[in-house]
Amino acid sequence: MITKSLQDAINEQINKELYSSYLYLSMAAYFEDKNLPGFANWMRKQADEERGHGMKFYDHMVERGGRVMLKALDAPKTDWKSSLEAFEEVAEHEAKVTASINALYELALKEKDYPVQVMLQWFITEQVEEEKNAAEILANLKLIEDRGTAVLMLDHRLGKRTGE
């Protein structure tokens, strides 16, 4: 059985993961509006991935006999000044998610909940990849400085992203 404090913390993390999905879907809509289907594709795939993360937490909670308690999601931002600003937000957001996962791991250590620790190892590894991907795209956007042809080339590359 999972403790009440871990149950509450995991429910919070489910909310954060689902919000992440909602945020990235909002970014996909922004990029669709800017006629950048590759960027939109990348964001849609990211939104799907984040929903999957939320479901991993959901499934773990159910397997451990905990109660999933979904909360309302905040409305995500819907507009950005540029592709660069959107990916700056992605990088900042992923850093916050990493901090949240780390705090959850610390709680699992404190409570000596080994199954949660094992499950969180996957997320810790995943967050390294998430931050790396966001940082690489952000670095590319800074290099190209909104040059039209270069943005289109990056858009084409991001359009090739497939699901997990």
Q: Are 148 and 83 in contact (CB under 8 A)?
A: no
Range of the domain at 57: 4-70+80-158
Q: Exposed (0-12), middle (13-18) or buried (19+): which is 121, by Cβ within 10 Å?
A: exposed
Does 23 reside within a domain? yes
Count of other CB atoms within 10 angstroms of residue 21: 22
In a domain, 145, yes or no: yes
pLDDT value of position 155? 67
* CA 31/CA 9 separation, integer angstroms: 33
Residue 12 included in any domain: yes
Predicted confidence at residue 141, as pLDDT, reads 86
pTM confidence score: 0.90
Each residue's pLDDT tens digit, 13-28: 999 999 999 999 999 9
Note whether residue 164 is domain-resident. no
